Amino acid sequence: MPGTSLTQPTTVRTVTTLADGRQLIYYDSGATAPRRTVDERPLDPRAPGSEVRLDPATGDWVTIAAHRQSRIYQPPAEECPLCPSRGGRLSEIPAEDYQVAVFENRFPSLAGPPGTSAPAAEGLWTSGPGAGRCEVVCFTADHEASFADLTPERARLVLDAWTDRTAELSALPGVRQVYCFENRGAEIGVTLAHPHGQIYALPFTTPRTARMAARAAEHRAATGRNLFDDLLAAERSAGLSAERSPELSAEGGRVVLAGDHWTAFVPFAARWPYEVHLYPHRRVPDLTALDERQRSEFPVLYLELLRRFDRLFGGGRTPYISAWHQAPAGQRDELALHLELFTIRRTADKLKYLAGVESGMDAFVNDVTPEDAARRLREVAA
């Protein structure tokens, strides 16, 4: 579907196919699409196999994807598979240049048409094919850049790509949840240094989302109100109180920055040393439901957050995970779209490794108070 327009009139989507049958989509601002779309590599047909298994003790789904052991691991820049194809070197992206590109992962955790085979139970053991889809989102052709280096216009183009993929993937039969995220930094475990993120179309609801849904249902039953509306209102109110009365900052003051349509704050019970949640003021279930005012403001606030993270420890690029939480199928009324951004760095020279109580029992211990983290993130504003 070359030239299919999205909600932003200047965004052009060009769809093509890689040599092994995987889909590649270019997103461009303006009417000119990349000229080269033919993948000339002699790739073998894909034959990934993964499985999902249900933990009988917790009810959590676990994906078993042994084929990923052979995926590309930290190649030198001149062999990066996410850079454009130039100078006779062919990569995952055939074009000589691009703005934003999305393609099916060559080493996916989940692959295959969702909904074709339901999980089967054998006594305590419930398992099924690892059906779903995993995509890679390349934010820029510049290998040395980072998301924080993008212009607001280019960040908006990435938002358009996330939105388009959320709409298409969530419509696939059997997909329960669409998860867009970015891991940055070798400390996080990133295997490719090129600025990129990923999108998972999952055949199940993730454990963290399931817990959120349960809490939202309890809050609705107890108060008659939406949990996330109340949470955002409380954080915004505490932030305003702290501005008026600095002596109250120990009780609130966790708001990091706010616009007309979004607010970013450190959560009351933050798990990570520096963790920020970004919520739209008008509650929506997923990216597809954002209005134009929210879409226009998001890039400016998000880029500022990322740049503050980079200034936290005296410069350099702070490793982080940036995770979009979207409502799964059938739970769009109570859950709220929001972005959770956090780093595993706790000081300039120390990382936050998960301790035994955290890895073994999922009970976090934070070395930085949320109020101090919020104060520090306000201090490093440009």
Task: Classify domain 4-204 at the CATH topology level.
Answer: HIT family, subunit A (3.30.428)
- pLDDT(8) > 70: no
Residues labelled as active-site residues: 196
Distances (CA, A) of 317 to 92, 160, 196: 26, 25, 15
Q: What pLDDT does residue 115 have?
A: 66
Mean pLDDT of the chain: 90
> Is residue 248 within 8 Å of residue 260, measured between CB atoms?
no
- pLDDT(5) > 50: no
Those residues whose C-beta lies under 8 Å from the C-beta of residue 174, and which sit 6 or more positions away, are 113, 114, 115, 116, 131, 132, 203
293-332 per-position pLDDT tens digit: 999 999 999 999 999 999 999 878 999 999 999 999 999 9
At 11, the pLDDT band (50, 70, 90 cuts) reads: confident
If you average pLDDT over residues 150-162, what whole number do you get? 97
41-100 per-position pLDDT tens digit: 999 887 667 899 999 999 999 999 887 877 777 889 999 999 999 989 999 999 999 999
Beta bridge pairs of residue 282:
none
At 3, the pLDDT band (50, 70, 90 cuts) reads: very low
* Calpha distance 118→211 (Å, rounded): 23
194-227 per-position pLDDT tens digit: 999 999 999 999 999 999 999 999 999 999 999 9
Tell me whether domains 4-204 and 209-379 share a fold: yes
Half-sphere CA count of 144, side-chain side, radius 13 A: 1
* Calpha distance 364→353 (Å, rounded): 11
* Calpha distance 209→201 (Å, rounded): 14
Task: Classify domain 209-379 at the CATH topology level.
Answer: HIT family, subunit A (3.30.428)
Residue 59 is encoded by which pair of tokens? 């009810």
- In 3D, which of 159, 164, 68 has the Cα closest to residue 111? 68
Q: Where are the domains of the chain?
A: 4-204, 209-379
Q: What pLDDT does residue 251 have?
A: 46
109-120 per-position pLDDT tens digit: 998 877 666 788
- pLDDT(353) > 70: yes
Q: What pLDDT does residue 1 have?
A: 31
